[in-house]
Amino acid sequence: MDSTILLDLIDRAEDSTIQLKQNITSPAQLTAECAAFSNAKGGHIIIGVANDKSITGLTDNDIDRLNQMVSNVSEQHIKPHIAPFTEVCKVDNKKLMVIHEEEGLSKPYATNEGIYWTKKGADKRKLSQEELQRLFQSSNRLYTDEQIMHETTIKDLDRVFFSEWYEETYEEALEESDLNLPDIVRNLRLGNGENLNLAGLLLFGRKPNLYKPAFLVKAVSFFGNDPAGSEYRDSEDIKGNLMTQYKGTVSFILRNLHKKQNGKGFNTEGDPEIPKIVFEELVVNALLHRNYDINAPVLVFIFDKRIEITSPGKLPNSLTVNNIRSGVSVIRNPILTSFGSKILPYRGVGTGVRRSLKNYPDIDFVNDEDADRFTVIIKRPNH
C-alpha cells in the first residue's frame, strides 16, 4: 500500500471499514474484529497507530507474532474460515501492519464461541437472530429442510391437518383462498408447487416415514441404568409428522415417570417427578433443531437415574454447551423453526434450554463431536 494512501486512511476517523490499533495481543480481540468485517463490507485493520493517530510502529517480533496470530485466527477461530492477507508498510521509518479483510462470501461468520459480530460505525455489535437469518438467505445456502423431495407430490400433504392449521392461522378456509393449493404451498416455502420439500413433508405430510423412515423417535424405558440392557418396561417407535412425534414422545416420557401427590386428593392424578414443561421444551428442540442430513432417529432413553434425549448432529457453527445455556442459538432448519411457534409449543430460538433449566436445573448437556450427536441428560430426583 502506498504510504500516501496509508497516511490518508490513518488521518480519517475510524469507521465501518477502518480500525486503528496500537497493537493486538489477544487472539479473541482479533477474531472479533475479523469476523465483524467479514459479516459487513470488509475493511482494514491498521496496527502500529495510537489512539491520537500518532504512528508508534511495530517491532519485527511484533510482526512475526501478528502474522502467526492472523493465520491461527483465520483457520481455527472463525467458521467458515476466512482468508485475510497482511501487508507490512513503512511510514517515517516505522513499520506498520495492515490486515486487509474482504467482505465474506459465505456469511454469516461466527467466532469459535458461537458469536456473530458485525460492524456498526467504528464499533462492532452482535448480529440479531433476524439479521442472521437474512444473512443465511442472502448467502444462497440451501438448508436441509428446504431440499425438494422429488419423490413426493402435493397429494402427500395431509389435507385435513393442513386445512385446519391454515384456517386457524389465517382465519380463512383453505377452499376460500384466492390461491390454489400448489401456490399456497410454494408461498409458504413448503415445496415448489409440485413436490413437497423436507419441511413440508415433516410438518404436514400424511406419511413422512414412507419417504424418510429414519426420521422418527425411538423411545425405550429400561430397567436399571445400562443402555445395553436387554430388559425394558416400555418401548415405542413414534412416527408421523412432527406434531404427532412431539405429542407421542411427551406422552411416552410422562407415562414412564413417577407421580408425586404434592398435597392433592387421593383420587387426583399426581404431578410428574419432573415438570412437564421441561420435556415439552426439550422434545421440541430435539425435533426442530436436529441435523436432518443424518439419517438417524431421535433417541429417548429412560433409566432409573436419568432420562436421555439424543439428537442426531453436534451443535452447529461453533456453538458450545455454555452458549446454549446462555440462550445463544443458531438456526439450522429455518423453515421448521419458523413454523414451530405456529404448530408446536415452541416459544422462540434460544429460549427452550433456559426455560427448562429454570424449571428443573438438574440437566446436563453433552455435545459429542466425534459421534456427531447432542444429548440432554435429565437427572431423576431421589435416585
In this structure, which long-range contacts are made by residues 318-325, counting pairs with CB atoms below 8 Å and at least 24 apart in sequence? 318/79, 318/110, 318/111, 318/112, 318/113, 318/114, 319/114, 319/367, 320/113, 320/114, 320/367, 321/365, 321/366, 321/367, 323/113, 323/114, 324/350, 324/353, 324/365, 325/353, 325/354, 325/357, 325/365
What single-letter DSSP state applies at residue 314? Answer: P
The predicted model gives 324-341 an average pLDDT of 85
Judge whether 22 lies within some domain.
yes
Q: Which of 247, 256, 245 is nearest to 218 (CA)?
A: 245
pLDDT digits (tens, 9 = 90+) for 264-318: 655 567 789 999 999 999 999 999 999 998 899 999 999 999 999 999 999 886 6
Of 190, 211, 232, the residue that ends a domain is 211
Helix (H) or strand (E) holding 373: strand 373-379
Judge whether 194 lies within some domain.
yes
- The whole-number pLDDT of residue 380 equals 95
Of 165, 188, 211, the residue that ends a domain is 211
Judge whether 45 lies within some domain.
yes
Q: Say if residue 273 is in the same domain as residue 351.
A: yes
Under the banding of pLDDT at 50, 70 and 90, the label for residue 166 is very high
HEC string of 25-54 equals: CCHHHHHHHHHHHHHCCCEEEEECECCCCC
pLDDT digits (tens, 9 = 90+) for 45-61: 999 999 899 999 999 99
Query: What three-state secondary structure class fits 352?
Result: helix
CATH code of residue 20: 3.30.950.30
pLDDT digits (tens, 9 = 90+) for 185-219: 999 999 999 999 999 999 999 999 999 999 999 99
Q: How many residues does the chain have?
A: 383
pLDDT above 70 as % of the chain: 93
The predicted model gives 352-381 an average pLDDT of 93
Q: Say if residue 224 is in the same domain as residue 373.
A: yes
Judge whether 159 lies within some domain.
yes
Query: Does 32 have pLDDT greater than 80?
Result: yes
Task: Identify whether the C-beta of residue 301 lies closer than 8 Å to the C-beta of residue 222.
Answer: yes
In sign, the C-alpha dihedral spanning 111, 355, 341, 253 is positive
Q: Say if residue 261 is in the same domain as residue 311.
A: yes
Helix (H) or strand (E) holding 47: strand 43-47
Judge whether 117 lies within some domain.
yes
Q: What is the rounded CA–CA span in Å between residue 118 and residue 19?
A: 13
- The whole-number pLDDT of residue 362 equals 96
Task: Identify whether the C-beta of residue 157 lies closer than 8 Å to the C-beta of residue 206.
Answer: yes
Nine-digit cell at 358?
Answer: 429454570
Query: Does 136 have pLDDT greater than 90?
Result: no
Q: Say if residue 85 is in the same domain as residue 50.
A: yes
Strand pairing category for 94-101 and 43-47? antiparallel
Judge whether 133 lies within some domain.
no
Per the model's pLDDT, the better-predicted residue between 381 and 113 turns out to be 381
- The whole-number pLDDT of residue 328 equals 76
Q: Rg for the chain (alpha carbons), in Å?
A: 26
Task: Identify whether the C-beta of residue 124 lies closer than 8 Å to the C-beta of residue 109.
Answer: no
Q: What is the DSSP string of 104-141?
A: PSS---EETTS--EEEETTEEEEPPHHHHHHHHHHTTP
CATH code of residue 319: 3.30.565.60
Judge whether 76 lies within some domain.
yes
Query: Is the overall model pTM greater than 0.85, yes or no?
Result: no
Q: Say if residue 195 is in the same domain as residue 97.
A: no
Q: What is the rounded CA–CA span in Å between residue 187 and residue 193?
A: 9
* Domain boundaries, position 122: 3-127
Q: Say if residue 250 is in the same domain as residue 344.
A: yes
Q: Which of 147, 185, 143 is nearest to 163 (CA)?
A: 185
Cα angle vertex 125, ends 121, 129, to 5°? 125
Q: Say if residue 123 is in the same domain as residue 155.
A: no
Q: What mean pLDDT is reported for the chain?
A: 90
Query: Does 383 have pLDDT greater than 60?
Result: no
Query: Does 131 have pLDDT greater than 80?
Result: no
Of 95, 127, 159, the residue that ends a domain is 127
Q: What is the rounded CA–CA span in Å between residue 197 and residue 239?
A: 18
